[in-house]
Amino acid sequence: MERKPTPDHLLLDRQLCFALYAASRSVTGLYRPLLEPLGLTYPQYLVMLVLWEQEGLTVRELGARLQLDSGTLTPLLKRLQAAGLVDRRRRAEDEREVEIRLTEAGLALREQASDIPECMAQRLQLSLEQMQTLRDELKQLTRQLQLSPTEE
Amino acid sequence: MERKPTPDHLLLDRQLCFALYAASRSVTGLYRPLLEPLGLTYPQYLVMLVLWEQEGLTVRELGARLQLDSGTLTPLLKRLQAAGLVDRRRRAEDEREVEIRLTEAGLALREQASDIPECMAQRLQLSLEQMQTLRDELKQLTRQLQLSPTEE
DNA sequence: GAACATTCAATTGTACACAATTGAATTTTG
DNA sequence: CAAAATTCAATTGTGTACAATTGAATGTTC
């Protein structure tokens, strides 16, 4: 009748994955009120960051950068288009590809977004150095996981 | 006609938030093939971790632990119930609360999940110490964000 | 103790994620 | 060059996330 306690390694608080999952959602939540005035969701903001860096990417190229597939990007980009921030156009050279370009409004939005990173940095209560270290550890982790695919 | 380049602080690769977002999704993706034989999604796995630790929690208590609201948990718990892993029952003491209890099958699943954390640790290619450090940094970050609410 | 307020889980509606499939366009091959 | 294979974005279907609302149950107050 005695029930075994759960083994330590299955405790929620021991899991790196949950720490990651919780932190990611918390940070996204912190962005929400900052992005709401711009009319952007957090994933839409990430797409805009990429487009502000480099114009005329295809859906595939955007997906490679953000690790998202067309199932996620296509509807998201349609919403950005409906909001008047981007244009979507089949490429003449290769009709399979759809090129995403900023509209004037889309480019102009960059100015409004310009102080978001600083604002976030303040709220995270981390030094610039701590932020960089943590960011680079996470990037290293992600790179590691993409290099070693799931061997069956 | 000259277009200004995007300022450095708006570059995608500079963002801690994207590093977090990408890492979280990558890790979740790594769990997927391990959880599939158990018939669990990753959020469902997190719920099971909590229930294996402590039985008879309410939806609210589960939500407090996982930082999820009833809009997410109610349908998720219905799916776990449909899979025969949990029971959902209104509390007699307070009919507003719904208590979640493991079924025999739900408890038994713990044995099958038992080697998942070790398997993941191997794939993450981090030392136990590195994992703990990173995990604790992320927990600290999350705690920080929950303490300082969005002052308008 | 009846009006009022609060606390629950559930519901509604919008927006991701992602696996799997589709179908058109292009590339490769025999 | 024509058939087969590949590469795209789009679509379909399932499962989260989360804000906002609903409605029942419980607490509080006068």
Three-state SS letters, chain B: CCCCCCCHHHCHHHCHHHHHHHHHHHHHHHHHHHHHHHCCCHHHHHHHHHHHHCCCEEHHHHHHHHCCCHHHHHHHHHHHHHCCCEEEEECCCCCCCEEEEECHHHHHHHHHHCCHHHHHHHHHCCCHHHHHHHHHHHHHHHHHHHHCCCCC
The pLDDT of A46-64, averaged and rounded, is 97
Residue B20: the pLDDT is 98
Question: Of residues 52 to 71 in chain A, which lie within 7 A of strand C by their beta carbon?
Answer: 67-71
Q: Is the CB of A47 under 7 A from strand D?
A: no
From CA A23, how far away is CA B137, in angstroms rounded?
10
Q: What is the pTM of this model?
A: 0.94
Instruction: Indicate if the pLDDT at residue A152 is higher than 50.
Output: no
| pLDDT interval class at B148 (50, 70, 90) | low
* Residue B144 CA to its chain's centroid (Å): 18
Nearest residue of A to residue B124 by CA position? A145
Residue B87, in any domain of the structure: yes
How close B95 comes to chain A (CA, Å)?
Answer: 28
Question: Of residues 23 to 42 in chain B, which lie within 7 A of strand D by their beta carbon?
Answer: 41-42
| pLDDT interval class at B61 (50, 70, 90) | very high
| pLDDT interval class at B4 (50, 70, 90) | confident
| pLDDT interval class at A69 (50, 70, 90) | very high
pLDDT > 70: percent of chain A: 95
Residue B8: the pLDDT is 86
Which nucleotide lies nearest residue A62, CA to C1'? D9
Is the same domain home to A64 and A103? yes
Residue A16, in any domain of the structure: no
Span of A64-78, A97-111, A130-144, B136-150 with lowest mean pLDDT: B136-150
CA contacts within 13 A on the Cβ side of B107: 12
Instruction: Indicate if the pLDDT at residue A151 is higher than 80.
Output: no
| pLDDT interval class at A6 (50, 70, 90) | confident
Residue B7: the pLDDT is 85
How close A22 comes to chain B (CA, Å)?
Answer: 7
Is the same domain home to B128 and B75? no
CB A57 within 8 A of CB A99: yes
Residue B72, in any domain of the structure: yes
Q: Looking at beta carbons, which residues of chain A come within 8 Å of B50? A: 12
How close A105 comes to chain B (CA, Å)?
Answer: 14
Instruction: Indicate if the pLDDT at residue A150 is higher than 50.
Output: no
Residue B16, in any domain of the structure: no
The CA-atom distances, in angstroms, between B85 and each of A83, A125, B74, B115 are 43, 41, 14, 19
Is the same domain home to A53 and A108? yes
Total structural domains in chain A? 2
Is the same domain home to A129 and A108? no
Q: Is the CB of B44 under 7 A from strand D?
A: yes
Tell me the residue range of the domain where A58 lies: 38-113
Assess A35–B contact: CB distance below 8 Å, yes or no: no
**CA nearest to nucleotide C8 C1': residue:** B96
**CA nearest to nucleotide D17 C1': residue:** B72
Residue A116: the pLDDT is 96
Residue B32, in any domain of the structure: no
Is the same domain home to A74 and A98? yes
Å separating the CA of residue A70 from the C1' of nucleotide C18: 10
Span of A49-63, A67-81, B92-106, B114-128 with lowest mean pLDDT: B114-128
| B84, B52, B60, A28: CA torsion to nearest 10 | -100
Residue A71, in any domain of the structure: yes
Residue B152, in any domain of the structure: no
Q: Is the CB of B58 under 7 A from strand C?
A: yes
The pLDDT of B54-71, averaged and rounded, is 97
Is the same domain home to B108 and B61? yes
Is the same domain home to B95 and B45? yes
The reply to whether residue A124 touches residue B144, judged by beta carbons under 8 angstroms, is yes
Residue A112: the pLDDT is 96
Is the same domain home to B94 and B132? no
The pLDDT of A74-97, averaged and rounded, is 97
Is the same domain home to A107 and A49? yes
| pLDDT interval class at B149 (50, 70, 90) | low
Instruction: Indicate if the pLDDT at residue A34 is higher than 70.
Output: yes
